[in-house]
Chain A
Amino acid sequence: MAVNADKEKGFRLLLASYKESIYWHIRRMVVSHADAEDAAQETFVRIFRNFSQYSGNSSLKAWIFRIATNEALRLLGKRKGKDTLSLDDLTTDPTRAHDAPPDSYYNDSDKVAARLQQAILTLPAKQQLAFNMRYYDEMPYEEIAEATGSTAASMKMNYSLAKEKIIKFMTE
Protein backbone atom coordinates (compact mmCIF):
# COMPACT_ATOMS: atom_id res chain seq x y z
CA MET A 1 0.00 0.00 0.00
CA ALA A 2 2.83 2.40 0.91
CA VAL A 3 4.58 1.61 -2.39
CA ASN A 4 1.37 2.23 -4.36
CA ALA A 5 0.82 5.53 -2.54
CA ASP A 6 4.37 6.61 -3.34
CA LYS A 7 4.01 5.61 -6.97
CA GLU A 8 0.86 7.68 -7.34
CA LYS A 9 2.38 10.61 -5.51
CA GLY A 10 5.50 10.42 -7.65
CA PHE A 11 3.43 10.22 -10.79
CA ARG A 12 1.35 13.23 -9.80
CA LEU A 13 4.53 15.25 -9.32
CA LEU A 14 5.77 14.12 -12.72
CA LEU A 15 2.43 15.00 -14.25
CA ALA A 16 2.43 18.45 -12.68
CA SER A 17 5.96 19.08 -13.98
CA TYR A 18 5.47 17.89 -17.53
CA LYS A 19 1.81 18.14 -18.51
CA GLU A 20 2.10 21.55 -20.14
CA SER A 21 5.38 21.04 -21.94
CA ILE A 22 4.26 17.65 -23.24
CA TYR A 23 0.90 18.96 -24.38
CA TRP A 24 2.48 21.84 -26.28
CA HIS A 25 5.16 19.59 -27.79
CA ILE A 26 2.41 17.36 -29.18
CA ARG A 27 0.20 20.28 -30.15
CA ARG A 28 2.94 21.80 -32.28
CA MET A 29 3.08 18.52 -34.22
CA VAL A 30 -0.61 17.73 -34.55
CA VAL A 31 -2.11 21.27 -34.47
CA SER A 32 -5.59 20.20 -33.34
CA HIS A 33 -6.35 20.75 -29.64
CA ALA A 34 -8.57 17.67 -29.34
CA ASP A 35 -5.93 15.45 -30.92
CA ALA A 36 -3.22 16.92 -28.73
CA GLU A 37 -5.36 16.33 -25.66
CA ASP A 38 -5.90 12.67 -26.58
CA ALA A 39 -2.25 12.08 -27.35
CA ALA A 40 -1.09 13.86 -24.18
CA GLN A 41 -3.45 11.80 -22.04
CA GLU A 42 -2.29 8.59 -23.68
CA THR A 43 1.34 9.67 -23.20
CA PHE A 44 0.97 9.96 -19.45
CA VAL A 45 -1.01 6.75 -19.15
CA ARG A 46 1.81 4.96 -20.98
CA ILE A 47 4.37 6.63 -18.73
CA PHE A 48 2.55 5.36 -15.65
CA ARG A 49 2.18 1.82 -17.04
CA ASN A 50 5.78 1.59 -18.24
CA PHE A 51 7.68 3.52 -15.63
CA SER A 52 9.41 0.35 -14.46
CA GLN A 53 10.99 0.17 -17.93
CA TYR A 54 12.72 3.51 -17.49
CA SER A 55 16.28 2.43 -16.90
CA GLY A 56 17.71 5.76 -15.76
CA ASN A 57 20.40 5.56 -18.48
CA SER A 58 18.81 8.42 -20.39
CA SER A 59 17.38 11.62 -19.00
CA LEU A 60 13.84 11.33 -17.68
CA LYS A 61 12.77 14.34 -19.73
CA ALA A 62 14.13 12.78 -22.92
CA TRP A 63 12.32 9.51 -22.13
CA ILE A 64 9.04 11.33 -21.57
CA PHE A 65 9.43 13.41 -24.73
CA ARG A 66 10.21 10.28 -26.70
CA ILE A 67 6.94 8.68 -25.60
CA ALA A 68 5.06 11.89 -26.40
CA THR A 69 6.65 12.11 -29.85
CA ASN A 70 5.65 8.52 -30.58
CA GLU A 71 2.07 9.25 -29.53
CA ALA A 72 1.97 12.27 -31.83
CA LEU A 73 3.35 10.16 -34.68
CA ARG A 74 0.75 7.47 -33.96
CA LEU A 75 -1.97 10.08 -34.21
CA LEU A 76 -0.58 11.55 -37.41
CA GLY A 77 -0.37 8.03 -38.80
CA LYS A 78 -4.06 7.42 -38.00
CA ARG A 79 -4.95 10.50 -40.05
CA LYS A 80 -3.27 8.82 -43.00
CA GLY A 81 -4.85 5.44 -42.30
CA LYS A 82 -1.70 3.90 -40.84
CA ASP A 83 -0.88 2.54 -37.38
CA THR A 84 1.83 5.11 -36.90
CA LEU A 85 4.35 7.19 -38.79
CA SER A 86 8.08 7.07 -38.36
CA LEU A 87 10.18 10.21 -38.38
CA ASP A 88 11.22 9.27 -41.91
CA ASP A 89 7.62 9.01 -43.07
CA LEU A 90 6.92 12.67 -42.33
CA THR A 91 8.17 14.41 -45.45
CA THR A 92 8.16 18.06 -46.27
CA ASP A 93 4.57 18.88 -46.95
CA PRO A 94 3.46 22.50 -46.83
CA THR A 95 -0.17 21.43 -46.63
CA ARG A 96 0.36 19.50 -43.42
CA ALA A 97 -0.56 22.55 -41.41
CA HIS A 98 -4.05 22.05 -42.79
CA ASP A 99 -4.27 18.28 -42.24
CA ALA A 100 -5.72 18.78 -38.82
CA PRO A 101 -9.47 19.15 -38.45
CA PRO A 102 -10.30 22.82 -37.78
CA ASP A 103 -11.03 23.71 -34.19
CA SER A 104 -11.85 26.83 -32.24
CA TYR A 105 -8.50 26.80 -30.43
CA TYR A 106 -6.57 28.12 -33.40
CA ASN A 107 -6.45 31.87 -33.83
CA ASP A 108 -4.56 33.22 -36.81
CA SER A 109 -5.15 36.87 -35.93
CA ASP A 110 -1.51 36.91 -34.80
CA LYS A 111 -0.29 36.57 -38.38
CA VAL A 112 3.40 36.37 -37.61
CA ALA A 113 2.96 33.66 -34.98
CA ALA A 114 0.65 31.70 -37.30
CA ARG A 115 3.12 31.95 -40.16
CA LEU A 116 5.95 30.72 -37.95
CA GLN A 117 3.96 27.56 -37.12
CA GLN A 118 3.28 27.06 -40.82
CA ALA A 119 6.99 27.40 -41.48
CA ILE A 120 7.79 24.79 -38.82
CA LEU A 121 5.22 22.36 -40.21
CA THR A 122 6.81 22.50 -43.66
CA LEU A 123 10.07 21.12 -42.24
CA PRO A 124 11.14 17.47 -42.35
CA ALA A 125 10.27 15.76 -39.08
CA LYS A 126 13.74 15.66 -37.53
CA GLN A 127 14.35 19.34 -38.29
CA GLN A 128 10.93 20.16 -36.89
CA LEU A 129 11.57 18.24 -33.69
CA ALA A 130 15.08 19.66 -33.31
CA PHE A 131 13.73 23.18 -33.71
CA ASN A 132 10.74 22.77 -31.43
CA MET A 133 12.63 21.08 -28.61
CA ARG A 134 15.54 23.51 -28.80
CA TYR A 135 13.59 26.70 -29.34
CA TYR A 136 10.47 26.15 -27.25
CA ASP A 137 11.64 23.63 -24.66
CA GLU A 138 15.26 24.82 -24.51
CA MET A 139 16.53 21.27 -24.32
CA PRO A 140 20.25 20.56 -24.79
CA TYR A 141 21.15 18.76 -28.03
CA GLU A 142 22.09 15.62 -26.07
CA GLU A 143 18.57 15.39 -24.66
CA ILE A 144 16.97 16.08 -28.03
CA ALA A 145 19.13 13.31 -29.46
CA GLU A 146 17.93 10.86 -26.78
CA ALA A 147 14.32 11.82 -27.41
CA THR A 148 14.62 11.27 -31.16
CA GLY A 149 17.02 8.34 -31.25
CA SER A 150 19.67 10.42 -32.95
CA THR A 151 22.99 12.06 -32.08
CA ALA A 152 23.68 15.46 -30.58
CA ALA A 153 25.72 16.48 -33.61
CA SER A 154 22.92 15.49 -35.96
CA MET A 155 20.32 17.39 -33.92
CA LYS A 156 22.52 20.48 -33.84
CA MET A 157 22.75 20.37 -37.62
CA ASN A 158 19.03 19.77 -37.93
CA TYR A 159 18.34 22.77 -35.73
CA SER A 160 20.60 25.01 -37.85
CA LEU A 161 19.00 23.85 -41.08
CA ALA A 162 15.55 24.31 -39.60
CA LYS A 163 16.27 27.83 -38.43
CA GLU A 164 17.69 28.76 -41.82
CA LYS A 165 14.61 27.50 -43.65
CA ILE A 166 12.25 29.19 -41.20
CA ILE A 167 13.98 32.53 -41.60
CA LYS A 168 13.79 32.21 -45.39
CA PHE A 169 10.07 31.28 -45.17
CA MET A 170 9.31 34.23 -42.91
CA THR A 171 11.21 36.67 -45.06
CA GLU A 172 9.40 35.75 -48.31
Chain B
Amino acid sequence: MKKEFNIEQEVGKRMPYSTPDGFFDQLEDNIMAQLKEEKKEESRRPAVMRVLRSNWKSIISLSVAACAAVLLVVRHNVPEEEAQQPYGFNNVELAYSNLSTEDQQFLIEIYSESEDEELFNYEEN
Protein backbone atom coordinates (compact mmCIF):
# COMPACT_ATOMS: atom_id res chain seq x y z
CA MET B 1 0.00 0.00 0.00
CA LYS B 2 1.41 3.33 -1.06
CA LYS B 3 2.27 5.57 1.85
CA GLU B 4 0.24 8.78 1.85
CA PHE B 5 2.37 11.84 1.20
CA ASN B 6 2.76 13.96 4.32
CA ILE B 7 3.22 17.55 3.16
CA GLU B 8 4.39 18.92 6.50
CA GLN B 9 6.96 16.20 7.04
CA GLU B 10 8.22 15.77 3.48
CA VAL B 11 8.39 19.45 2.43
CA GLY B 12 7.50 21.74 5.29
CA LYS B 13 7.56 25.31 3.99
CA ARG B 14 10.43 24.87 1.55
CA MET B 15 9.92 26.38 -1.89
CA PRO B 16 11.99 26.36 -5.08
CA TYR B 17 11.90 30.16 -5.08
CA SER B 18 14.63 32.50 -3.94
CA THR B 19 15.31 36.23 -3.91
CA PRO B 20 18.40 38.38 -4.53
CA ASP B 21 20.54 39.28 -1.52
CA GLY B 22 19.20 42.30 0.35
CA PHE B 23 15.99 42.19 -1.66
CA PHE B 24 13.55 42.98 1.12
CA ASP B 25 15.51 46.02 2.29
CA GLN B 26 15.65 47.20 -1.31
CA LEU B 27 11.91 46.60 -1.69
CA GLU B 28 11.20 48.84 1.28
CA ASP B 29 13.51 51.55 -0.11
CA ASN B 30 11.86 51.35 -3.54
CA ILE B 31 8.38 51.70 -2.06
CA MET B 32 9.33 54.73 0.03
CA ALA B 33 11.08 56.27 -2.98
CA GLN B 34 7.98 55.81 -5.15
CA LEU B 35 5.75 57.39 -2.52
CA LYS B 36 8.17 60.30 -2.14
CA GLU B 37 8.17 60.81 -5.91
CA GLU B 38 4.37 60.82 -6.00
CA LYS B 39 4.33 63.42 -3.24
CA LYS B 40 6.79 65.57 -5.22
CA GLU B 41 4.58 65.33 -8.30
CA GLU B 42 1.66 66.69 -6.34
CA SER B 43 3.68 69.58 -4.97
CA ARG B 44 4.99 70.44 -8.46
CA ARG B 45 1.66 71.94 -9.47
CA PRO B 46 2.54 75.52 -8.43
CA ALA B 47 5.66 75.23 -10.59
CA VAL B 48 3.38 74.48 -13.53
CA MET B 49 1.67 77.77 -12.82
CA ARG B 50 5.07 79.49 -12.99
CA VAL B 51 5.63 78.03 -16.42
CA LEU B 52 2.20 79.20 -17.45
CA ARG B 53 3.00 82.76 -16.37
CA SER B 54 6.23 82.87 -18.29
CA ASN B 55 4.21 82.18 -21.41
CA TRP B 56 1.26 84.37 -20.48
CA LYS B 57 1.09 86.30 -23.73
CA SER B 58 0.39 83.25 -25.85
CA ILE B 59 -1.73 81.70 -23.14
CA ILE B 60 -3.81 84.84 -22.65
CA SER B 61 -4.39 84.97 -26.41
CA LEU B 62 -5.69 81.44 -26.30
CA SER B 63 -7.82 82.18 -23.23
CA VAL B 64 -9.30 85.27 -24.88
CA ALA B 65 -10.02 83.23 -27.98
CA ALA B 66 -11.67 80.59 -25.82
CA CYS B 67 -13.76 83.25 -24.05
CA ALA B 68 -14.77 84.71 -27.39
CA ALA B 69 -15.79 81.29 -28.61
CA VAL B 70 -17.82 80.74 -25.46
CA LEU B 71 -19.44 84.16 -25.82
CA LEU B 72 -20.37 83.37 -29.40
CA VAL B 73 -22.03 80.15 -28.29
CA VAL B 74 -23.76 81.91 -25.39
CA ARG B 75 -24.93 84.73 -27.66
CA HIS B 76 -26.21 82.22 -30.17
CA ASN B 77 -28.19 80.43 -27.50
CA VAL B 78 -29.64 83.35 -25.53
CA PRO B 79 -33.18 84.60 -26.19
CA GLU B 80 -33.43 87.12 -29.07
CA GLU B 81 -34.31 90.15 -26.95
CA GLU B 82 -31.34 89.56 -24.77
CA ALA B 83 -29.12 89.07 -27.81
CA GLN B 84 -29.95 92.61 -28.94
CA GLN B 85 -28.38 94.01 -25.79
CA PRO B 86 -24.73 95.03 -25.84
CA TYR B 87 -22.52 92.54 -23.98
CA GLY B 88 -23.61 92.97 -20.42
CA PHE B 89 -21.96 91.89 -17.25
CA ASN B 90 -24.20 88.80 -17.07
CA ASN B 91 -22.90 87.41 -20.36
CA VAL B 92 -19.29 87.92 -19.37
CA GLU B 93 -19.99 86.31 -16.02
CA LEU B 94 -21.64 83.36 -17.75
CA ALA B 95 -18.68 82.97 -20.11
CA TYR B 96 -16.27 83.16 -17.21
CA SER B 97 -18.19 80.49 -15.28
CA ASN B 98 -17.90 78.17 -18.27
CA LEU B 99 -14.12 78.24 -18.04
CA SER B 100 -12.29 75.52 -16.09
CA THR B 101 -11.31 76.30 -12.50
CA GLU B 102 -7.64 76.46 -13.48
CA ASP B 103 -8.31 78.96 -16.27
CA GLN B 104 -10.44 81.08 -13.98
CA GLN B 105 -7.72 81.14 -11.32
CA PHE B 106 -5.10 81.95 -13.90
CA LEU B 107 -7.06 84.90 -15.25
CA ILE B 108 -7.62 86.24 -11.74
CA GLU B 109 -3.92 86.01 -10.92
CA ILE B 110 -2.83 87.61 -14.18
CA TYR B 111 -5.24 90.52 -13.94
CA SER B 112 -4.72 91.17 -10.28
CA GLU B 113 -0.93 91.52 -10.34
CA SER B 114 0.13 95.20 -10.39
CA GLU B 115 3.47 94.56 -12.15
CA ASP B 116 1.49 93.27 -15.12
CA GLU B 117 0.03 96.71 -15.88
CA GLU B 118 1.56 96.38 -19.37
CA LEU B 119 -1.14 93.79 -19.99
CA PHE B 120 -3.59 96.63 -20.46
CA ASN B 121 -1.31 98.03 -23.13
CA TYR B 122 -0.86 94.60 -24.69
CA GLU B 123 -0.92 94.63 -28.44
CA GLU B 124 -0.75 91.60 -30.64
CA ASN B 125 2.44 91.24 -32.64
Chain A positions near chain B (C-beta within 8 angstroms): 12, 15-16, 19-20, 23-24, 27-28, 31, 33, 37, 40-41, 44-45, 48, 105-110, 112-114, 116-117, 135-136, 163, 166-167, 170-171
Contact = CB atoms under 8 A, between A and B. Distances in A.
A167 B18 CA distance: 24
Given A166-B7, A170-B5, A110 B16 contact: yes
> Looking at chain B, what size class is its interface with the partner chain?
20 to 34
Interface of B: 2, 4-5, 7, 10-11, 13-20, 23-24, 27-28, 30-32, 34-35, 38
A72 to B, nearest CB: 14
Nearest to B30: A41
Contacts, number: 79
Nearest to B8: A135
A140 B28 CA distance: 27
Given A19-B27, A167-B4, A167-B7, A45 B16 contact: no
